[in-house]
Amino acid sequence: MTLPHGGLRGRGWPLLADDMFRLAHRDSTGTPLLDPHVAGLGLAAALLGELLLTGHVSVRSGLVVVSDRAAPSDVLAHTVLDQLLSEREQHPVRTWLAYLGRSAVEEVAARIERAGHLRAEVSRRIFARTVRYVPTDMNTAAWPWARLARLLRRGGPLDDFDTLLGGLVVAADLHRVVLIGEADAFFTAMRPLLTAAADPIRELITHTRAAAGDAVITKT
């Protein structure tokens, strides 16, 4: 099953991973809100989600299946699709999450930085080098949370983009980190929307949640 493009509501390329990146970092300082491994898995899922939303891939019985070999208009998405096409066999969602998750944070950050919405601040110590991605505009950085909160308060249906975005927030347990005191309300609002979502969306979210949960268990 492939998803209709109508759910994008006139967007260009659906920059789902950019919004997931913004949700996973403080909108004022760029401080990460998730464990690096979980963040990588969430952003890897969002990159697959971009291809899912545009009909380039589907998710069937736990496998990522290429549906359209046409080159995406976005450079990073093109790179991800090329990686999928380079494999002779179909691989499980979790295999791709693990593989793409190794570099997803840096690659998505670079895309947002090229758009002028982030600046990289490098800190060097004797044995370490860390990079923090600071938003150049706090309103842009805060918009995904504001949009999701407004749509859920209104109680109306979400399009495929925001349904998948909200589902990935739940999969990474990000709502419990950010929405102190409101996490349960967020999950309650999202649950029926995720239940009603298209099968590929639900599968991608389910596998992401399982992978993120395993990552946390392994670390502890």
Mean pLDDT for the stretch of residues 116-142:
88
Query: For all residues of the chain together, what is the average pLDDT?
Result: 91
Give yes or no for residue 22 having a pLDDT over 90.
yes
In a domain, 86, yes or no: yes
For residue 50, give its domain range.
Answer: 14-219
* Domain annotation covers residue 153: yes
For 83-116, letters b (16+ CB in 10 Å) and e give ebeeeeeeeebbbbbbebbeebbebbbbbbeeee
The answer as to whether 32 is a domain residue is: yes
Q: Is residue 154 part of a domain?
A: yes
**Domain of residue 80, CATH code:** 1.10.3630.10
With bands split at pLDDT 50, 70 and 90, how would you rate the model's confidence at 220?
Answer: low
Of all helices (H) and strands (E), which one includes residue 10? Answer: none
146 in a domain, yes or no? yes
Mean pLDDT within 71-82: 97
SS3 content of the chain, % helix, strand, coil (to 5): 60, 10, 30
Tokens of 126: 């004797």
Amino acid 54 reads: T
Distance, in Å, from the CA atom of 213 to the CA atom of 121, rounded to the nearest integer, reads 30
The reply to whether 78 falls in a domain is yes
The domain tally of the chain equals: 1
Identify whether 205 is part of a domain: yes
pTM more than 0.85 = yes
In a domain, 4, yes or no: no
pLDDT digits (tens, 9 = 90+) for 137-196: 999 999 999 999 888 888 878 999 999 999 999 999 999 988 877 889 999 999 999 999
